[in-house]
Amino acid sequence: MSQKSIYKTIQTPFDAIPKKLSFSLAIGVWVVVVGAWVWLTYSGAVKDMFLPKPGKVLQTTFQMASDGSLYEHMMTSLQVVIIGFVVSSVISVPLGLMMGTYRVVQAFLDPLVNFMRYLPVTSFVPLFILWIGIGLEQRVAVIIFGIFFQQLVMIADSARSVPRDLVNAAYTLGTKRHETVFHIVFPATLPNTLDILRVTMGWAWTYLVVAELVAARSGLGYISLKAMRGFQVDVIFMAIALIGILGLATDQLFRLLRRVVAPWSQ
């Protein structure tokens, strides 16, 4: 592709760009970010207590990886996020489809759901400890509460957007009315549902620190909060970076799943 055609492609909204250019831009943004980090820390422009050197963060990571503690913290956090996300999704997907398809379900649930989804998750942490106790269940409950009602609303909105002509055509072909949700609405909303799950998985990772705020003994959120008390900024940066990496990995898995399960939506 000539330089002129590449320039034209960049200027055209929604137009695809060459894979090499896309890869170069993806690498370039990290070069800029890491380069700025290196310059700010090694030049002395920012003190170590506010922004640690990249080398110090890597050294801390290797030290914790060598003694096995880092793997333990990562697996603990991954367990909390995965269990909370799966439990929330298993309930919210069918319920959201029902809510978006049947007006009676929407009328019944809408007031409660739209009230609950605005409540701050952090305010419920003491209640979860009181109701559930201290342990894995309490941390999982924080993740579920943080994403369940958001999933429900978005999936219901996606179900409501299914073209009525598609549903009526299914009736004409002999589909029974009680089969509409799982034979018509679910396949039609599958690409959007996977996108919603991908987005809310990202939210689940953001609630991890809140989930491990009280009485946790391991996890990336736990070591981050513990490091804050000792001004170990390198440990905080390491924990943040690992949460970001794990979140990015789950995001890419959902992108791959969407291509495999719903290839027609590409």
Q: Which of 196, 193, 197 is nearest to 181 (CA)?
A: 193
Q: Is the pLDDT of residue 61 over 70?
A: yes
The mean pLDDT value for 71-75 works out to 92
- pLDDT tens figures, 245-260: 999 999 999 999 999 9
Count each helix (H run) and each strand (E run) in the chain, helices first.
13, 0
54-265: which CATH number, 1.10.3720.10, 3.40.50.720, 3.90.1170.50, 3.90.226.10?
1.10.3720.10
Give me the residue label for tokens 């963060």: 57
Give the model's pLDDT for residue 7.
Answer: 60
- pLDDT tens figures, 84-122: 999 999 999 999 999 998 899 999 999 999 999 999 988
Contact assessment for residue 143 and residue 80, using Cβ atoms and an 8 Å cutoff: yes
Q: Which DSSP string do the residues of 179-191 spell out, in sequence order?
A: GHIIIIIHHHHHH
Average pLDDT in the chain: 87
For the chain, the structural domain boundaries read 3-42, 54-265
Give the model's pLDDT for residue 225.
Answer: 85
